[in-house]
Amino acid sequence: MPKEKLLSTEEARKVLRTINQMYPDAKSELVWDTKFHLLCAVLMSAQTTDKMVNRVMPKFIADYPEPQNLAQAAIPEIEQHIAQIGLYHSKAKHLKEMAEILVEKYDGQIPQDKKLLVKLPGVGEKTAKVVLADGYGIPAIAVDTHVARISKRFHIVAQNAKPLEIEKRLEEVLPKDEWIHTHHAMILFGRYSMTARDKEDPYTYLKVK
């Protein structure tokens, strides 16, 4: 079986920068107003769509303005708020436990440190990176299904590459100040330009208006 030919750093950079040009104003489509609500929204978005999360966020934000409000809420009450989204039972439990820890250990503030963030219930590497990037402007590339699929379709990484390998390669290809924007542009490209159903040559979807 022939070895898979991957793009050079220069070729990969060209693809990613074209995607950036297609979505010059790329940013998260999740609804949030504070770093606390950003953390809640990203936690909720696992294995469900941003659209579904955005349906529940306005009332969630109104009823739980601060971590203290969420920490004091009963789990069945939180479940009612987020029942429309996937895995809402475990997410409600994680949201309450996370809020309790934020109140007890961090005075209601969101840690600006990945090692501390991933210790919070329901918060993994991807969630932590999105919070650090969007909440604090700390350069990061979070690898979700869109980012992984696009990286593989364009042969920026091997087809069997794991999320950490994809992240490392993308960070090698781009300067740090492009990481956050590229992450969001890739998500929008995967959501609206080259969806999982689109099977043509990926370069046919690289069209700058």
CATH of the domain at 130: 1.10.340.30
- Whether residue 194 sits in one domain with residue 119: no
Mean pLDDT of 126-154: 95
Region 37-59: mean pLDDT is 95
pLDDT number for residue 45: 94
The answer to whether residues 39 and 132 belong to one domain is: yes
pLDDT digits (tens, 9 = 90+) for 51-99: 999 999 999 999 999 999 999 999 999 999 999 999 999 999 999 999 9
**Inside any domain, residue 102:** yes
pLDDT of 7 over the 60 cut: yes
The whole domain housing 181 covers 9-27+140-205
Which own/partner pairs from 115-120 qualify as long-range (CB within 8 Å, at least 24 positions apart)?
Answer: 120/39
Asked if residue 1 is part of any domain, the answer here is no
Last residue of a domain, one of 136, 159, 187: 136
Identify the sign of the CA torsion 117, 92, 38, 51.
positive
Copy the structure tokens of residue 188.
């929008």
In-domain check, residue 197: yes
Q: How many domains does one find in the chain?
A: 2
Task: Give 113's contacts (C-beta < 8 A, 6+ positions apart).
Answer: none
Task: Report pLDDT for 207.
Answer: 86
Quick one: 151 and 198 in the same domain?
yes
Instruction: Tell whether the model's pLDDT for residue 44 goes beyond 90.
Output: yes
pLDDT at residue number 21: 96
**Mean pLDDT, the chain, whole residue set:** 95
pLDDT-based confidence at residue 209 (cuts at 50, 70, 90):
low
> What would the two tokens of residue 205 be?
């979807």
Q: Is 14 assigned a catalytic role?
A: no
Residues 132 and 39 in one domain: yes
User: What is the value of pTM for the model shown?
Assistant: 0.92
Structure tokens at 114: 């990945």
Among the options 126, 129, 168, 199, which is catalytic? 126
- Which pLDDT band holds residue 2 (cuts at 50, 70, 90)? low
More confident residue, 185 or 1: 185
For the stretch 88-112, pLDDT in tens is 999 999 999 999 999 999 999 999 9
Q: Residue 179's pLDDT is what?
A: 97
Give yes or no: 126 in active site: yes
CA torsion angle 81 82 83 86 (round to 10): 180
For position 4, what pLDDT does the model report?
80
Query: Which position among 27, 144, 152, 168 bears the catalytic label?
Result: 144
Element (DSSP H or E) covering residue 109? none
Task: Tokens 């708020």: give the residue.
Answer: 81
d(CA 181, CA 73): 36
Residues 17-29: pLDDT tens digits?
999 999 999 999 9
Distance separating alpha carbons of residues 139 and 179, to the nearest angstrom: 6
pLDDT confidence tier of residue 47, bands split at 50, 70 and 90? confident
Residue at which a domain ends, from 85, 120, 136: 136
Residue pair 67/107 in contact (Cβ under 8 Å)? The answer is: no
Torsions phi, psi of 45, nearest 5? -75, -10
Contact 168, 6 (CB under 8 A): no
Do 132 and 153 lie in one domain? The reply is no
Question: What pLDDT shows up at residue 189?
Answer: 97
Helix (H, G, I), strand (E, B) or coil at 24: coil
CATH number of the domain encompassing residue 20:
1.10.1670.10
Rounded to whole angstroms, how far apart are CA atoms 129 and 149? 19
